[in-house]
Structure 1
Amino acid sequence: MHNTDLDLSSAALATTHEVFNQSRALEGYNSYSGDTALREAVERHGAAWAESRLTEHGARCGSAQVYEWGFQANASKPQFASHDRQGHRVDLVRYHDAYHHLMTLGLEAGLHSTPWTDPGPGAHVARAAQYYLQAQVESGHGCPLTMTFASVPSLRLTPSLGDTWLPKILNRAYDPRNVPHTEKQALTIGMGMTEKQGGSDVRANTTRARPLAGGGPGDAYELVGHKWFTSAPMCDAFLVLAQAEGGLSCFLVPRWRDDGSKNPIQVQRLKDKMGNVSNASSEIELRGALGWMVGEEGRGVRAIIEMVSMTRFDCMIGSAAAQRQGVAQAVNHAAGRSAFGKTLIDQPLMRNVLADLQLEAEGSLALTLRMGEALDKSLAPGGDEQEKLLLRLGLPTGKYWICKRTPFHTYEAMECLGGNGVTEDFIMARLYRDAPINAIWEGSGNVQALDMLRALSRSPETLEAWFAELGRTRGDDPRLDAAVGQLQAEFSDPDDIEYRARQIVDQLALTMQSSLLLRTGNQPVAEAFIASRLVGGSQRNFGGLPRGLDIDTLIRRADPHG
């Protein structure tokens, strides 16, 4: 039996369906103006003066063009060529142009330099906020930006090197050419610490350094050995650890010698990583490479830890940024998608999930920018000692907690998009692949937890500073007071403390986030965080917020359009 009403014309067959009930791409918006929590935190921590700069950068980072750069940079992995066509050793890594566009955006904005070139109240907070905006779009190019930024305190330990290298390092420009640093006006810096046999245990490093003359800080050495993980191998120089006669020491190793010849830093291969694919990570061998000693001989860890502290801070920023991008994508999708007769964002269970995701991002941002304020105060002339002590626990705690929470957060945000979330056409798939990276790099979770204990053993006053900071909200909420009391009891019991270290760091983070959110004066946010994290437990799934909370406020704050 034939259906005579069926239109089999070519015009009808060419149109099978109408596309509807799909959310619009989240682009063409201002990621600063639309982020209420970020704008409030910037003002709260002393960087309101940077409002115009951040607004301008938010417009750039929220643009369709910059989002497209992120997709392109990840779709085309870096390609390595050991030799040129004539057979000369070049160790060249080629990136997609989009990667270079992102690097240009970050370096011209001063993400690597502004707190060093223009120090003052709120400088680190403003830079952290700006980095937070750019990291939401693409995380891979953040690695060389971070390492260049973080190299400055280490290089300042040796004035003869700092005076020569820092003017070009701090220049707000980008020069990706594969030419000697002497021919450039803008430089980027990488880092090589870990080796095959040691990983985080850098004392096990076997790379050797031999002085070419007298030896000592700023003098030239010859390095022979390897590094198992050297990211961004096209940087102009690297801070590297090697064994000198007096013990493990730090060296600045350039890609080219001053005479224009290639320094024998030979890339063996690029790592085939599951995430962070726009950024090349390499295995290198040092075959008599020239390097200059940074800091004192035998004090290499002390010298490079100046850099590591800053890279850990940026891991906090980057992971907090991923949380913000995840919840923004989830809310944007839920506002433009209907199911079962209702817009997703109006459905109670989805609202519970979205509000919970926003709470996590609020806590992460609050802790991150409080550490930014601590950096500003501790690095100011005279240096606030309490703020230095706060950082000593705050950086490993924040790095551990925020970076650990991000993969779980990203997965839940991805699920909000349904099947679209797992396809590479949408940003969530990339966010999910990138999410575990910050928890592993710059010291894994165990390293951070043990670093917290090490800080306490060396400087017990750090714990006093932490509880003094928590004491600023004593009496404001009995649930927080009880949690702080439990935390104090944990530290009063020395038995099996290394075994319990992760549990303790969890409590350090949650109590501090709760205290910081209470101080904002935003009662709906603080109440929801304390009710769900301190009382409800942090290990539950997202979307389990208790009844009676102001979900509307949380979802409004999550909306990327403000």
Structure 2
Amino acid sequence: MQRFCSRNNLLLANLGTRGILRNVTAATSSETYLKISDNQKNVEPESYVVPFAKARIGNFFQEKPSLGNHYREDHALQSYLKRHIPSDIFTSKVEPDLHKFGQRVTSEIVDLGQQCDTELPYVEHFDPWGQRIDRLVTCPAWNKLHDISAEEGIISIAYNREIKEYSRLHQMAKVYLFASFSGLYSCPIAMTDGAAKIVENLTTEYPWLKERAFGHLTSRQPGQFWTSGQWMTERKGGSDVANGTETIAIPQDDGSFRLHGYKWFSSATDADITFTLARVVGKDGQTTKGTRGLSLFYVEVHNVDGSLNNIQIQKLKNKLGTKQVPTAELLLDGTVAHKVSDEGRGVASISSMLTLSRIHNALASASSMRRMVNTARDYSTRRSAFGNVLKSYPLHIQTLARLEVEVRGALLLTLEAARLLGREDVGIATEHEQMLLRLLTPLAKLYTAKQAMSVVSEGLESFGGQGYIEDTGLPGLLRDSQVLPIWEGTTNVLSLDVLRALMKTNGGVLKVWHDNIIYRIESAGQHQELSHAAEKVTKCASSVVDFAKTHSDVLDNAARDFAYSLSRTFIGALLVQHAVEAGSDPTDIYAAQRWCEKDLTPVITNQNRRHFSSESTDLDFQLLFKNYHDRSRL
């Protein structure tokens, strides 16, 4: 016979010894039935409850967040592009492509990126017979992302220039959509973009280089598409390549060179080509020290038979994040290379590569922020706490809205740099636009990278404990974001680069910055809701210029706060102008107002606090080194 037990009954401890479970079925969520064999008829029904696994662990499972079309859900991106790209071009070419790609990002690319995060690259150093092969193995998803990058024209759009100056802006919009979902394939894309720019710039002097490499670097055919590395950093390395580069280049009779050196941090080791710096060995067997001794070299990573070009992969780096990118320590032991700069002009020749990689870095920062905020926004509609979904709590929405303001500011700053680069690409940028691009490039990189760390961390907190669980994919966003303030120059290094831009132009670049802000603010002069924000931006811009003129003696010490002040004030101008010219959307106005409520000029604030005085400098040192164990080094 069958006996039925309510799911609410208690299970006695002797269930396992007195009953034999023959069949278990679930009927409804409110009633569960336990079928017991006839020989158990002496057991009272009240002794049983359904021992289903589901009953033991509970019925609730948190619904995971999801994302819609990544382009369609980005108001700031759409409205900026509509403002700056002629409507016929935008409607017929740019928007349809970005709409289609935005859907592909969240329906396909996100899963590939997650696979890259779990199936990490590795090196097979030897074959079964003991021969050294240093075979780098990447996962199928990484290789698929290579193909998608080609198919989508993430490099080629910028160089085919079908829509002229707007091609670069179109390309960078795709990079922004792609970066945070790409499993870090955006890293080799950044270096490939820089390599393509170098090759394009060297067309006249080295026509063979364009014929050999340019078509591959800009191809839309996956089988023809090459990626590039950027092997600059050595053991002494970091940003000080002038004193840190020890690699030597020995001339050969055929005009090529053989490189011998140790590259300590070489990202995208699976690249097809790379550009690197080395010192040419003269006839006297000597090399020139410093920047004057560095020349730029083009290297094809593999020989025709697929073997490495006299390169040994010593090890893959064990990094905090960006583990998906195969970054290695490489021994160059007679690597065949070709010099593609005048001797001693290597650093100058890579300036275009640095510009591009820094803009890509800023795009990755904005992309990481956007993904985190969009995911947290969706989660707020699915997660309930204390009886209501999170979106019902004003404090939670206020927190996310503050992050949204940061994302919009970062995006506008980076897209403005990309727009100016597009004009420079086709030779129509004015002298003032070129100077502004020179300044905005380090500013966008340094400031958005710091924003990314703050926004991604705060966004992670909005998921509670789930934000700390690796399987959600969320912690990886935070780990991977930490590289953004480091790669292509730390915050302090780039702050000093900003000062170099000022010195090389005798302050001209600062005047261009100020005049550009005034021009943007004038468009909002009669807008009542933005008048206070516009007035504050104007005042802050003048204050920063006055500081640079009257406190030039402390600029080195104030460089970081000075760079932040330049960035925040310029972003304020961009947001105010955008709010007016994009149609006075209430959310755009609100974003501009909220941005301009912050301290736009920390350099003025901290100068008033005497943070840059010699007394403060001494106290900073004492504060840090008090009780330091090795007094002999002070």
Where do 1:344-423 residues align within 5 Å?
344-423=390-469
- Residue 225, structure 1, aligned to residue 261, structure 2: yes
Counterpart code for 1:86: W
1:106–1:134 contact (8 Å) kept in structure 2: no
SS of 1:146 mapped into structure 2: helix
Rate the CA distance shift 1:128–1:39 in 2: closer, same or farther, 3 A: same
- 1:75 paired with 2:133, answer no
1:176-216 deviations in Å (ceiling 9; x for gaps): xxxxxxxxx321111100110132110121110121138xx
Return the offset for 1:4.
11
SS in 1 for 2:553: coil
Counterparts of 2:603 and 2:80, CA distance in 1:
25
User: TM-score under structure 1 normalisation?
Assistant: 0.88
Cα contact 2:565–2:603 (8 A) shared by 1: no
1:271-290 matches, within 5 Å, as: 271-290=317-336
2:109–2:182 contact (8 Å) kept in structure 1 = no
Distance 2:158 2:7 in 1: 75
Structure 2 residue aligned with 1:87: 130
Query: 1:147 Cα deviation (Å)?
Result: 0.8
Q: 1:123 aligns with which of 145, 158, 167?
A: 167
Partner of 1:33: 72
The one of 16, 40, 51 equivalent to 1:13 is: 51
Q: Which has the higher contact order (CA 8 A, sep 6+)?
A: 1
| Bigger mean CA deviation after superposition, 151-160 or 492-501 | 151-160
Q: 2:177 aligns with which of 122, 133, 136?
A: 133
Q: Distance in 1 between matches of 2:380 and 2:58?
A: 20
**Bigger Rg, structure 1 or 2:** 2
Which residue does the alignment assign to 1:504? Answer: 562
Paired residue for 1:528?
594
The C-alpha deviation readout for 1:144-195, integer Å capped at 9, x for no partner, is 11111111121232332122211111111334xxxxxxxxx32111110011
Offset of residue 90 of structure 1: 2.5
* 1:387 Cα deviation from its structure 2 partner: 1.6
Q: Distance in 2 between matches of 1:538 and 1:454?
A: 20
Determine if the alignment matches structure 1 residue 484 to structure 2 residue 538: no
Task: Quickly say closer, same or farther: Cα 1:25–1:151, change in 2 above 3 A.
Answer: same
Code of the residue aligned with 1:141 in structure 2: it is Y
Q: For the residues of structure 1 that align with 2:599 and 2:426, how far apart are their CA atoms? A: 34
Distance of 2:399 and 2:209 partners within structure 1: 51
Which sits farther off after the overlay, 399-408 or 484-493?
Answer: 484-493
Q: Which string of whole-angstrom CA distances, capped at 9 and with x for unpartnered residues, describes residues 461-498 of structure 1? A: 22222112111115552111221122112211201211
In 2, distance between residues paired with 1:293 and 1:536?
Answer: 45
Moved more, 431-440 or 461-470: 461-470
Structure 1 residues 41, 295: CA separation in 2 closer, same or farther (over 3 Å shift)?
Answer: same
- CA shift in 2, pair 1:312/1:139, >3 Å: farther
* Correspondence for 1:150: 194
Q: 1:21 to 1:529 in 2, by over 3 A?
A: farther
Residue 162 (structure 1) aligned with residue 210 (structure 2): yes
1:212 maps to 2:252:
yes
Would the alpha carbon gap of residues 22 and 387 (structure 1) be closer, same or farther in structure 2, given more than 3 Å must change? same
* Counterpart contact for 1:257–1:290, Cα < 8 Å: no
Structure 1 position 466 matched with structure 2 position 506: no
Match of 1:243 among 275, 279, 287: 279
Q: CA deviation at 1:21?
A: 7.1
8 Å Cα contact 1:410/1:428 also seen in 2: no
Q: How far, CA to CA, are the matches of 2:358 and 2:384 in structure 1?
A: 41
* Contact 2:294 2:347 (8 Å CA) reproduced: yes
TM-score normalized by structure 2?
0.79
Alpha carbons of structure 1 residues 5 and 350: separation in structure 2 relative to 1, 3 Å:
closer
- Residues 1:199 and 2:247 aligned together: no
SS of corresponding position for 2:556: coil
- SS at the partner of 2:323? coil
- Whether contact under 8 Å (2:277, 2:295) holds in the other structure is yes
User: What runs of 5+ residues in structure 1 fail to find an aligned partner?
Assistant: 176-184, 540-562
1:338 equivalent among 384, 390, 396 = 384
1:100 and 2:164 aligned: no
Cα displacement string for residues 116-166 of structure 1 (whole angstroms, at most 9, x for unaligned residues): 122513111111111111113135211111111111121232332122211
Tell me if the contact between 1:479 and 1:530 (Cα under 8 Å) persists in the aligned partners: yes
CA distance in 2, matches of 1:507, 1:537: 6
Give the Cα separation in 2 of the matches to 1:516 and 1:443: 25
Deviations 1:429-459 (A, max 9, x none): 1101111112111111111111111111112
Aligned partners of 2:123 and 2:135 also within 8 Å: yes
Distance in 1, Cα, partners of 2:341 & 2:180? 35
Q: Decide whether the 8 Å contact of 1:23 with 1:335 is kept in 2.
A: no
Number of residue equivalences = 522
Q: 1:290 to 1:360 in 2, by over 3 A?
A: same
Alpha-carbon spacing, 1:221–1:419, altered in 2? closer, same or farther (3 Å):
same
Contact persistence 2:94–2:170 (CA under 8 A): yes
Identify the range of structure 1 (336-345 vs 472-481) with the bigger mean alpha-carbon deviation: 472-481
The farther-off stretch of 290-299 and 139-148 is: 139-148
Secondary structure of the 2:265 match is strand
Distance 2:490 2:122 in 1: 28
CA contact (8 A) 2:543 2:604 kept: no
1:267 Cα deviation (Å)?
A: 1.0
Contact 2:165 2:425 in 1 (8 A): no
| Correspondences of 1:424-435 after superposition (within 5 Å) | 424-435=470-481
CA distance 1:20–1:482, change in 2 (3 Å): farther
Q: Deviations along 1:530-553, whole A, 9 cap, x unmatched?
A: 1245399999xxxxxxxxxxxxxx
- Measure, in 1, the Cα distance between the counterparts of 2:570 and 2:537: 9
Quick check: 162-171 or 275-284, which moved more? 162-171
Residues 162-181 of structure 1 aligned to structure 2 (within 5 Å): 162-175=210-223
Q: Which has the higher mean CA deviation after the structures are superposed, 249-258 or 124-133?
A: 249-258
CA deviations over 1:499-546 (Å, ceiling 9, x no partner): 11000110111111110011112312211211245399999xxxxxxx
CA distance in 1, matches of 2:379, 2:7: 41
Q: CA RMSD in A?
A: 2.3
CA distance in 2, matches of 1:5, 1:58: 49
Q: Say if 1:322 and 1:406, in contact at 8 Å, map to a contact too.
A: yes
Structure 1 residue 443 and structure 2 residue 489: aligned?
Answer: yes
Offset of 1:108 from its aligned partner? 1.5
Aligned to 1:554: none
Please give the alpha-carbon distance, in whole angstroms, between the structure 2 residues aligned to 1:512 and 1:535.
11
CA drift at 1:53: 0.4
Q: Does residue 60 of the first structure (1) align with residue 60 of the second (2)?
A: no
Q: Deviations over 1:23-59 (max 9, x none)?
A: 43314x2110111111112222327240000000000
Does the aligned pair in 2 maintain the 1:222–1:290 contact within 8 Å?
A: yes
Could you say what secondary structure the match of 1:295 adopts?
A: coil
